[in-house]
């Protein structure tokens, strides 16, 4: 019984370590990566992006930093095999209790989406 608990604990740890290694571009299907990279290169200074997973599509919303409520542009991409794991991990991180001001700042960024600034 103790061995089974140890195996389950190690498996849980390995899954969380594996998801921590994902980058936002890892959730995009390989066939859409060129288009995704073109979009990210087209982001102007003063713009930010947020990724969201909805209806089996990874959406990238582009916002103006001046008015963060106003979406300037949205594009949808096919998800990779890692998309569900990545977004579930991000959601789980958001639900963890906050321990310090840096974590609170990161949560605010997460609530606005994954932030990329040029």
Percent pLDDT > 90 in the chain is: 31
DSSP state of 48: E
Which pLDDT belongs to residue 25? 87
Which pLDDT belongs to residue 19? 46
Q: Decide which of 79 and 98 is more confident.
A: 79
Are 7 and 99 spatial neighbours (Cβ–Cβ below 8 Å)? no
Q: Decide which of 20 and 60 is more confident.
A: 60
Are 87 and 112 spatial neighbours (Cβ–Cβ below 8 Å)? no
Q: Residue 23: name the closest of 75, 89, 74 by CA.
A: 89
Contacts of residue 64, defined as CB under 8 A and 6 or more positions apart, other chains included, come to: 46, 47, 70, 72
Residue 3 has pLDDT above 80, yes or no: no
Q: Decide which of 35 and 11 is more confident.
A: 35
Of 60-64, 89-93, 111-115, least confident by mean pLDDT is 111-115
Domain coordinates in residue numbering, the chain:
23-112
Q: What is the pTM of this model?
A: 0.62
Which pLDDT belongs to residue 12? 58
The span from the CA of 25 to the CA of 79, in Å, is 10
SS3 category, 74: strand
């Amino acid at each position: 019984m103790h061995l089974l608990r140890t195996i389950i604990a190690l498996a849980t740890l390995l899954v969380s370590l594996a998801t921590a290694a994902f980058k936002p571009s890892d959730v995009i299907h390989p066939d859409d990566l060129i288009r995704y990279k073109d979009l990210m290169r087209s982001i102007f200074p003063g713009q930010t992006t947020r990724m969201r997973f909805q209806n089996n599509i990874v959406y990238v919303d582009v916002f103006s930093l001046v008015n963060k409520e106003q979406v300037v542009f949205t594009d949808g991409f096919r998800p990779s095999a890692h998309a569900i794991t990545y977004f579930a991990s991000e959601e789980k991180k958001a639900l963890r209790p906050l321990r310090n001001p840096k974590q609170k700042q990161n949560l605010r960024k997460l609530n606005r989406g994954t932030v990329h600034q040029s």
